[in-house]
Every structure is written in C-alpha cells, then in structure tokens.
Amino acid sequence: MTLFQRIKKILYALLMIAAAIILVALPDDNALDIVLFFVSIGFAIKGIKDIVFYFVMARHMVGGKMILFQGVVVFDFAMFTGTLTGVPQFYVMIYLISIHAFSGVIEVLRARESRRTVDGFWLMKMSHGIINIILALMCIIYIRDTSTAVTIYSAGLIYSAIMRIISAFRRTSFILIE
Amino acid sequence: MQMDFHYYATYCAAFLAGYSHEESLDIAYSAQFVDECSRTLLAKIKGPLRAATTQLQLEMMDARTDPVGRQDITRIWSSFHFLPRDLYASKPHCSRLYLNKYRLICGPNGDLAVKTVELAKGRPLQSVGIAMHVLADTWAHANFAGTPSLVINNTNHVFYELFPEEDGFREKLITFRHTTSTPDDLENSIYTNSLYQRNENTIMNLGHGRAGHLPDYSFVRYRYLPAWGDYGEIIKDNPSDYMKAFTQMIRAMKYIRGEEKVFEKDVYDTEASGPWRDRIRETIEKRQLSACDDWRALGEELSGHTIDVFSTDRYFEEYMQSSKDEKDETFLGRFILGAIAHKGMVISEIQRSKNMLAGVARAGFFKRSGA
C-alpha cells in the first residue's frame, strides 16, 4: 500500500467517524438527511467510476464483469439513497442498517475467499464482518427506540472506521521483482 | 530471475560463448547489477539518477502513481525487467488506454529483444551484461507487463503447480500468502504474493507481484489464468524457458563477439552447452530457493577459475574517487552509460509506437551514452 492509499483510507475513516458524531449529536431528520446526501454522492461517484472503468479497461479482464456488476449495484444504491430525504427516520434507519449488514456479509464472504487461497490475514476480515452483522441485528432489535438504534449504528460506524485505520497501518507484502 | 541466473548462469553462458574468465565475470557482474542499481544506490555513489535500472521496495512504496509517476516506473521496469514482446500487438474492440498496456506485455523473441542485443554489440562488457539481464528476463517474466495494471497483471485463484508424473503432470493448487518475512514453502506449494488491489494503477499491480516469485524459480511449472488472456489458461514451463534463455544468451554473446553475423529471433546455441546439457538441466530443475551454489560450481568447473561472490559495492570506490572526466571510463561509469543508452532505446521505441506510457526520451537523455 502506498502512502497516498494509506492517507486515503485514513481520511475515509475520519469521514465515517464524523458521520457517526453528527448522527449522535443531532438526532433528528436533518442529521440523517446530511448523512444520506453524502452516502448518495459517495455511492454515485464509486458506481460511475466502476462502470466507466469496466468499459474502458476491465471489459477484457478475467473477472472484469464483476466490476461492472458492482458498479451498477452501487450506482443503484446511490439513486435509491438520494430518494430517501423526507422519508420517516424509522425507514431510513432500516435502510442504513441494511447497508451496514450487507457490508458485513460481503466482508465475511471476502474473508472466506481469502481463507481458501491465502494463508493468514483472513481472521481480521472475518471478525470485522461478523461484528458488523451483529451490530446491524442489534439495531433492528432496538429499532422502535430510534435514538438507541442510532447510537448503536454510530458505534458500528466508528468500529468500521477504526478497522480501516488499523488496516491502513498494516504492513503489506510487496514482491521484490528481480 | 534471481542472482543464481543473472550472475552465475550468465557467467557460464559468457564463458561458453568464448569470453575469458575475467570478461565473463564483468558481464555477469553487470547483469546482476541491473537488479541493484536503484536511485538510492546512485545517490550514494553520486551517479546520475536517470541511469536507475531498478527500484527498491522502499522507493516503490513511495512511488507516485499519477501519469508522470507511472511513466517513471514504466521506463525502469519495461526497459530492464519486462521488455515488451510486441509494441504493435492488436486486440479487437478495446480502448487505446487498454491497448497501450496490453502492448507492454513482456515476452521472448520480440523485436525489442533483437534491438537490445544489437545495441550491445561494439559496446563495453557492461552493456553486454545489461543486455543479458534483459534477454533472460524476457523468458522469466513473460506474460506480465512492466507497468502497474490490474487488467493486465492480475491473477486469480486458478493457480496450480504441475509436477511431472509418468506420462503427464500431477496438479496441486497453490496457496498464496502475503507474509514476505516467511520464505516460500516449496514442499507444500505455499508462496508469497502481493495483495489484490482493485485500483488499476497501484504499484501492487506491477509486473508479476500477483504471481509471487514463481516466475523467478527455474524449477517450477504452473498453470494459471492471466487477467489479459480472455479466459485462456497459460502453462508456464520454467525449466524449458530457462534452458532457452541460457542457450539464447550464448547465441547473443557469440553474435556480440562477432562469431555470428546476425542475431535472429528463436535461434539458440545448443552446441556450446551440449556437453553440459544434463548438468544444466539438473541445476535448472532442482527444487530450491536459490541455485547459486550449483551454477557457481558449474561455472568454476567450466573455466577452472574461482568465481568471486557477488558484492554490490565492488566498484564503488573506483567510481567515487574518479574525477568527473574519468568517471565514464570506470566500470560503473560504463555501466551507467550502457543503462542510459538501453533505457533511451526502449523509451524511444515505445514512444514510436504512439504509446506514451513510458513518456519521451529527450535528446539530453542520451547525451554521452552513445546511443
């Protein structure tokens, strides 16, 4: 991982922590709208980037279609997220929790894949995914008490951010070409 | 390839091509020095940084991957370690951006390999060593490109080691890990590779990092799915490729010495190495992390002289203590001029193919190199 990639990872993590603080500090619809706006913009940029990358480069790559599918799904999420302003807090929370749980499932699947081909390293991914799923389930349990659910969700965001920061400082293998 | 081939095997090939023990040592030292001559080293000896032939791990971790930074990386790695096979290769229905990277895929017997050998003719032994490093790497590093690229250099879980067995091969799924501190486990086919990174231009997607050190081991045979290959599998037979690399080096050096009139693609000198063929094959096929001892023993048997252990700083003093006017005549001075000439030639050829991934070789770049 280059220095720039590490900085990018840390900045993204700091944004997640900021979003968590906004949610806890301003527990009303405005705070959720701000978070939804940034989530929507973030998804849209990522989705469009992936779709363009597929057509320009990854179309000829083994496994490249996965990049297109991811791009389309992420862009779809962006569109959907953008329509959620004005929707009651209860439903917005269910949506955000679902995304959190979904990212947890993806992390577990990735960890399983890593475990199959790569020795070590998968444990951290697996625990991150499982904790994300548990936090999402706890949010669902407390969904009627919105402020508790928001607090748990924010804790999940902060946890994910910390994991990102840790992985930014992780030593990565680099094959010395001779 | 590692020091075993770039230093000791190159010594053997040079001696079989007709060079003396001392000349073979100089060629072998220069061939191995290509893997040592980083900007950090050049800064230490106060040499010109544009002569860098490799990048250290630390230099690469901090390397910029914006377009200008990528040109710098590509200039070094495409010129010295991943010489493109066909700068005018075509692939239907792909973008120019993709095609530019696709055309930098390394492979043996390309036009640039011939030009590399031709450029070394009539030049000092240091240039011969540089050319032999580049030529040998076209075999080992085939099918990977010397530019950061996910869509070209990535590999996936389809990676099997092949073990000869009776009429065919037994296959074993290779396990990759990301711990560079642990040596590769040849017994259990566990190798270290670089992490999968979704970013097209990250340094982690440079060259054969995703395949670990497999291309550098002479004994290994494997099959895998290259990212660029349209789902076609490649069976890489390193023992066969390394033998071809060795016999092609002999042929190339015979041409440089003037014993052969032309250096043609796909022509190998099996005559000179004939009496040693079984010994060479045995060394190449022996499962070991480094074949230095075996190649060294062979070289010493061939020439009857002791081969000095490679020492990076052997010529540092001579270079650093020379006056500015005398530097070009020192061992490292000649290496530096040879490296600049070769790099300039490759950059110009890539640029001529209307591919800007390696940037432009300005006239000043060649100054004093004689290219």
For B199-232, the pLDDT digits (tens) are 899 888 999 999 999 999 999 999 999 999 999 9
Nearest one of A4, A42, A13, A43 to A163, comparing CA atoms: A13
pLDDT of residue A136: 87
A91 CA to chain B: closest CA distance, Å? 33
Residue A66 lies in a domain: no
Distance CA B135, CA B256 (A): 13
Q: Are B115 and B257 within one domain?
A: yes
Structure tokens at B350: 């890539």
Residues B349 and B79 sit within 8 Å (Cβ to Cβ): no
Q: Are B95 and B219 within one domain?
A: no
Q: Are B215 and B355 within one domain?
A: no
Q: Are B89 and B142 within one domain?
A: yes
Residues 6+ apart with CB under 8 A from B151: A57, A58, A60, A61, A64, B98, B101, B200, B227, B228
Residue A116 lies in a domain: yes
User: Which chain B residue has the Cα nearest residue A120?
Assistant: B177
Domain count, chain A: 1
Q: Which of B202, B219, B237 is the last residue of a domain?
A: B237
Residue A27 lies in a domain: yes
Residue B351 lies in a domain: yes
Residue A117 lies in a domain: yes
Q: Which of B237, B262, B281 is the last residue of a domain?
A: B237
Select from A57, A117, A175 the Cβ nearest to the Cβ of B213.
Answer: A175
Instruction: For residue B262, name the pLDDT band (cuts at 50, 70, 90).
Output: very high
Q: Are B277 and B343 within one domain?
A: yes
Q: Are B163 and B231 within one domain?
A: yes
User: Which chain A residue has the Cα nearest residue B159?
Assistant: A117
Query: Does the complex come out with an ipTM higher than 0.95?
Result: no
Please give the torsion angle defined by the CA atoms of residues B133, B137, B139 and B144, in that order, rounded to the nearest 10 degrees: -160
Please state whether beta strands B168-173 and B159-165 pair in parallel, antiparallel, or not at all (unpaired): antiparallel
Instruction: Note whether B179 contacts A62, CB cutoff 8 Å.
Output: no
B156 contacts in A (CB within 8 Å)? 62-63
Q: Are B138 and B260 within one domain?
A: yes
Q: Are B227 and B253 within one domain?
A: no
Residue B323 lies in a domain: yes
Residues 6+ apart with CB under 8 A from B192: A173, A175, B176, B177, B178, B179, B180, B182, B184, B212, B213
pLDDT of residue B363: 67
Q: Are B140 and B263 within one domain?
A: yes
Mean pLDDT, chain B, whole residue set: 94
CA B281 to chain centre: 20
pLDDT of residue A128: 85
Residue B297 lies in a domain: yes
Q: pTM of the predicted model, to two decimals?
A: 0.87
Instruction: For residue A178, name the pLDDT band (cuts at 50, 70, 90).
Output: low
- For residue B319, the enclosing domain spans 3-151+238-366
Residue A161 lies in a domain: yes
Rg (CA), chain B: 20
Please state the rounded mean pLDDT for residues B245-270.
96
Q: Are B91 and B215 within one domain?
A: no
Residue A70 lies in a domain: no
Residues B250 and B269 sit within 8 Å (Cβ to Cβ): yes
- For residue A124, the enclosing domain spans 3-41+87-169
Distance CA B371, CA B367 (A): 8
Residue B74 lies in a domain: yes
Residue A11 lies in a domain: yes
Render pLDDT for B336-362 as a digit per residue (tens, 0 to 9): 999 999 999 999 999 999 999 998 877
Nearest one of A69, A164, A58, A15 to B201, comparing CA atoms: A58
Q: Are B310 and B333 within one domain?
A: yes
Instruction: Note whether B77 contacts A177, CB cutoff 8 Å.
Output: yes
User: Which chain B residue has the Cα nearest residue A54?
Assistant: B151
Render pLDDT for A120-175 as a digit per residue (tens, 0 to 9): 567 778 888 898 899 888 888 888 887 888 888 888 889 888 988 888 877 665 66
Is B116 strand, coil or helix? Answer: helix
Render pLDDT for A90-109 as a digit per residue (tens, 0 to 9): 888 888 888 888 888 888 88
Domain count, chain B: 2
Please state the rounded mean pLDDT for residues B258-262.
95
For chain B, percent of residues with pLDDT exceeding 90: 85
Q: Are B177 and B296 within one domain?
A: no
Distance CA B231, CA B224 (A): 10
Residue A153 lies in a domain: yes
